[in-house]
Amino acid sequence: MAAITKKREWVIALQWISGHVNKQADKLAKLGRVENQPVLPLSYGPVKSMISSYCKDRASARHKVQADRNKWESLLQKDKRIPGNLSRAERVACFCLITGHDLLQKHLHRIGIVDSPKCHLCNMGDMDGHHLLTCIDLEDLHQDADQLRGRVKLYWAARGEMA
């Protein structure tokens, strides 16, 4: 596409189709229709890059607002993200434990799937990611629990026991 636009000059007309969803966009589109539009000497590549950058910045800002003071806020911080060198199963476990959407008893109880948040293994507490670190039924896996892969092992062991 970039090669084509280098050889020819294209006139690109953007057309807004009004609807009932975004009244502000409709209003701006009508305003733009009656005003003179600047002719900008931009090629496809830079315009694509500008639009892409704008969309990424907006999405990033929206994610920061949505994650503010939530469990998954750390996922937006580069130094606290889930390491990319983990296997898929390890990354899934990390994501589940960080967000709390972990399919352990406490979460399943919160969404109405099971009757009790209690740990099936020890019956001594609500079963969530924190409980796994002290669950006496998983005691043989606690020696590595201070490391990421150790917590992943705990998570999958607990999930295996639940099945």
Conformation bin of residue 69: beta by default, left when phi > 0, alpha when psi is -120 to 50: left
Segment interacting with Zn ion, rule: CB under 5 A, options 9-17, 56-64, 85-93, 111-119: 111-119
Q: Nearest Cα to 126, choosing from 141, 99, 108?
A: 108
Q: Nearest Cα to 94, choosing from 155, 158, 161, 163?
A: 155
CA distance 124 to 27: 60
Find the angle CA(27)-CA(52)-CA(69) to the nearest 5 degrees.
85
First to last CA, the chain: 52
CA distance 35 to 151: 60
Which amino acid type is present at position 155?
Y
- What's the token pair of residue 67? 């994650």
Nearest approach in angstroms of CB 119 to Zn ion is 3
Site string for Zn ion, 2-21 (x = CB under 5 A): --------------------
Nearest approach in angstroms of CB 133 to Zn ion is 10
Instruction: Name which of 93 and 119 has its Cβ closer to Zn ion.
Output: 119
Size of the site for Zn ion (CB under 5 A): 4
Which amino acid type is present at position 7?
K
Instruction: Name which of 122 and 157 has its Cβ closer to Zn ion.
Output: 122
Instruction: Name which of 66 and 116 has its Cβ closer to Zn ion.
Output: 116
Nearest approach in angstroms of CB 72 to Zn ion is 24
- Give the footprint of Zn ion on residues 113-142 (CB under 5 A): 119, 121-122, 135
Nearest approach in angstroms of CB 68 to Zn ion is 32
Q: Interface with Zn ion includes 97 (CB under 5 A)? A: no
Instruction: Name which of 28 and 136 has its Cβ closer to Zn ion.
Output: 136
Give the footprint of Zn ion on this chain (CB under 5 A). Answer: 119, 121-122, 135
